[in-house]
């Protein structure tokens, strides 16, 4: 069986007297899409912030490629190959695609920006993901559609040689065609061997693109399911608390 890129074991996080994560287990595999679902307040954002190094877990174990890791800062998470695409995308509308993809990580030569090299690398990255919807990598982000902006944000993560890309509600507020474009891109990303963790409230999107579905309920991982072996009603049951904790979720993940 393929070894996970990321494995969380019994991770916990509290804010004062409130226990937000209560011993959560999770695995993310190379070349596969894992979905994380749950109602508002389930702990999804806190779990992701721990992986991103924004809010380190209080306890538990984080393994990257089988080795213990302490994700104390976003820079450390990025160094270990974890990139997060947040819902707001963190793009600068007044800059072009190349400038956004290298924002804060610009390539230089003898103190001068290597614009030609950055443009070449940006184009190659978009090409590797079979992205053909951009007229030019020198387009301003302000001229792009929602789906195209999501594509730029994902390509920026790929450009950093990410082992795992975490996508926070990547299809929120997108139309049907743009949603299909982004989901196809997510699948192509996994086909390149990248581990993808997608957080979404849209179960139709989850069932279309995910290999595994992880359900959080009030800080507890109540189910870890193979997508092809479950259905919409079962997942909704776990999300709403109508179905009880699965044995596999209560112990080690999958």
Q: Encode pLDDT of 62-114 as tens digits.
A: 999 999 998 999 999 999 999 999 887 788 999 999 999 998 888 887 778 88
Q: Please tell me the predicted confidence (pLDDT) of residue 253.
A: 40
Q: pTM of the entire structure?
A: 0.87
Stretch among 12-26, 42-56, 125-139, 207-221 having the lowest mean pLDDT: 125-139
Total number of domains in the chain: 1
Look at residue 124 and tell me if it is in a domain: no
Q: Other C-beta atoms within 10 Å of 40: how many?
A: 7
Contact call for residues 168 and 86 (beta carbons, < 8 A): yes
Look at residue 146 and tell me if it is in a domain: no
CB proximity list for 122: less than 8 A, separation 6 or greater:
97, 98, 101, 102, 137, 155, 159
Identify the CATH number of the domain in which residue 19 sits. Answer: 3.40.50.300
Look at residue 54 and tell me if it is in a domain: yes
Look at residue 227 and tell me if it is in a domain: yes
pLDDT at 254 over 80: no
Q: Encode pLDDT of 183-236 as tens digits.
A: 988 998 999 999 999 999 999 999 999 999 999 999 999 999 999 999 999 999
Stretch among 36-40, 149-153, 196-200, 241-245 having the lowest mean pLDDT: 241-245
- Mean pLDDT calculated for residue range 15-41: 96
Strands 33-37 and 18-28: unpaired
pLDDT at 246 over 70: no
pLDDT at 244 over 80: no
Look at residue 238 and tell me if it is in a domain: yes
pLDDT at 250 over 80: no
CB proximity list for 185: less than 8 A, separation 6 or greater:
129, 131, 150, 151, 154
Q: Please tell me the predicted confidence (pLDDT) of residue 252.
A: 45
pLDDT, averaged across the chain? 90
Look at residue 65 and tell me if it is in a domain: yes
Q: Other C-beta atoms within 10 Å of 12: how many?
A: 16
The 3-state secondary structure of 66-110, one letter per residue? CEECCCCCHHHHHHCCEEEECCCCCCCCCCEHHHHHCCCCCCEEC
Look at residue 39 and tell me if it is in a domain: yes
Look at residue 114 and tell me if it is in a domain: no
Q: Please tell me the predicted confidence (pLDDT) of residue 68.
A: 96
Range of the domain at 14: 6-91+162-250
Residue that is written with structure tokens 């160094």 in the block: 79
Q: How many residues does the chain have?
A: 254
């Amino acid at each position: 069986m393929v070894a996970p890129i990321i494995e969380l074991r019994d991770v916990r996080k509290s804010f004062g007297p409130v226990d937000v994560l209560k011993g959560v287990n999770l695995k993310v595999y190379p070349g596969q899409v894992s979905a994380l679902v749950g109602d508002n307040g389930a702990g999804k954002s806190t779990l992701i912030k721990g992986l991103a190094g924004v809010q380190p877990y209080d306890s538990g174990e984080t393994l990257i490629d089988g080795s213990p890791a302490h994700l104390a800062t976003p820079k450390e998470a990025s160094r270990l190959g974890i990139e997060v695409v947040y819902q707001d995308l963190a793009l600068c509308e007044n800059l072009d695609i190349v400038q956004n993809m290298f924002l804060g990580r610009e390539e230089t030569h003898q103190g001068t920006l290597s614009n030609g090299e950055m443009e070449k690398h940006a184009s190659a990255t978009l090409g590797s993901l079979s992205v053909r919807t951009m007229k030019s990598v020198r387009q301003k982000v302000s001229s792009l559609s929602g789906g195209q902006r999501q594509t730029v944000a994902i390509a920026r993560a790929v450009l950093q040689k990410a082992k795992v890309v975490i996508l926070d509600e990547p299809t929120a507020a997108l139309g049907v065609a743009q949603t299909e474009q982004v989901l196809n891109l997510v699948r192509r990303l996994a086909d390149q061997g990248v581990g993808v963790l997608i957080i979404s409230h849209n179960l139709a999107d989850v069932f279309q693109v995910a290999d595994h579905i992880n359900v959080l309920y009030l800080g507890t991982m109540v189910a870890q399911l193979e997508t092809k072996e479950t259905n919409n009603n079962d997942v909704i049951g776990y999300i709403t608390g109508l179905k009880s904790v699965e044995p596999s979720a209560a112990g080690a993940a999958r």
